[in-house]
Amino acid sequence: MHRIVVSDTTAITHLAKINALHILKCLYHEILIPDAVYNELTKAKKTQPGALEVINASWIKVTPIKNQIIAAKLKAGLDLGESEAIALAIEQNADLLIIDERKGRIVAKPLVHNIIGMAGILLEAKKAGIISAVEPYIIQLKNTGFRMHNDVFDFILNQAGERNSSAHSK
């Protein structure tokens, strides 16, 4: 089944930081990103984690926004990448929007069918057998500056069946 999946910048950048961008490819096969996300990933500096992968990945498709009015309205409270990702998800009638920022998720919730963040991606990857454990990925992400509240960390480990796998950092 082909699903339309749109992504914001965060998941791509952080998974690239830990050399785990393949998780997105394995789970979704193709991801659409708007111009603003592409620019955030590639234009600022080519050393940005994920920049070369995005430039060279045939499975990440840059898809321009047709209705700039939606993106402009969303931009009032969000950054450009988030607003364009939400607008693209609406335009494409996406099955899934990958977005982690709380404010963006709140705005997107009534507008998009399904929303997933980094935690959900890792849980899906474990369920699909792409990764064997969620905890090492979360620890690596946290070490790169990815922010995750300890309650969310605990919840994810519980959902992954890894709650008692080790003493995790608080």
Token pair belonging to 53:
């992968």
Q: Which domains does the chain have, with CATH numbers?
A: 5-118 (3.40.50.1010)
Q: For position 77, what pLDDT does the model report? A: 81
Q: What is the pLDDT of residues 17-42, one digit of tens each?
A: 899 999 999 999 999 999 999 988 88
Which tokens hold the place of 5? 């999946």
Q: How many helices (H) and strands (E) does the chain have?
A: 10, 5
Both tokens of residue 77? Answer: 């409270």
| pLDDT at res. 48 | 66
For 98-135, write each residue's pLDDT tens digit: 998 889 999 999 999 899 999 999 999 999 999 999 99
CA distance 13 to 52: 11
Q: How high is the mean pLDDT of the chain? A: 88
Question: In Å, what is the CA distance from 133 to each residue of 32, 127, 129, 144, 156?
Answer: 27, 10, 9, 18, 11
pLDDT tens-digit profile of 43-89?
Answer: 765 566 667 778 888 999 999 999 888 888 888 889 899 999 999 99
**pTM > 0.95:** no
User: 148-170: per-residue pLDDT in tens?
Assistant: 888 888 888 999 999 754 444 44
